[in-house]
Amino acid sequence: TPYDIDYKVLIIGESRVGKTSIIKRLNNEGFSESTISTVGLDFVNAFFNIDGVTVRLQIWDTAGQERFRTITRSHFRNTKGTVLVYDISDRESFEKLEYWVDNLSNMNLDREVVYIIGNKNDLESEREISYEQGQKFASRNLVKFFETSAKNGNNLQEIFKTLAFDILDS
């Protein structure tokens, strides 16, 4: 697919929050209930048309499991956007956001466009973190906040299109 501009985007967050499921859904690969934890790095390309400009987002999936974490500054020197993911049905994954935000500033990625996404909002009956809590944390860190579900695809295309727009605009 031809494109005009190409940006590298990083997805990070705790293990099992749904990072791989999000990028699979963006890549039209559907959803599976059972997945294998990511080891190392993988990426998909997603294309968005923004006012006649075709933007290619090269979206990098990272390993959430500590022993597989390989994110280093050099890997992501040209990152333009970072998406921090937690699971709305898992309080601990939300509490760990603090760690990931610190990590971003250590890698000097905090000056790029950063989003926080609460995933699995199809699991309303298991919800442990309210929309307002997510929003409050994001606004305290001056970043945009969204909820989504990789399972039903709710809102996902729109979120990444907005991200492409914000990067283009930054």
Shorter beta-carbon distance to ligand GTP: residue 56 or 151: 151
Cα 69 to chain centroid, rounded: 16
Size of the site for ligand GTP (CB under 6 A): 23
Tokens (6 digits) for 26: 């963006």
Per-residue interface string for the shown chain with ligand GTP, residues 9-48, x marking contact by CB under 6 A:
------xxxxxxx----------xxxx-xx----------
- CA angle centred on 137, ends 153 and 149, rounded to 5°: 10
For residues 81 and 104, is the Cβ–Cβ distance under 8 A?
no
Q: Report d(CA 159, CA 38) in Å as an integer.
A: 23
> Smallest distance, Å, CB 35 to ligand GTP?
3
Q: Would you count residue 151 as binding ligand GTP (CB under 6 A)? A: yes
Which residues bind to ligand GTP, rule: CB under 6 A? Answer: 15-21, 32-35, 37-38, 63-65, 119-120, 122-123, 149-151
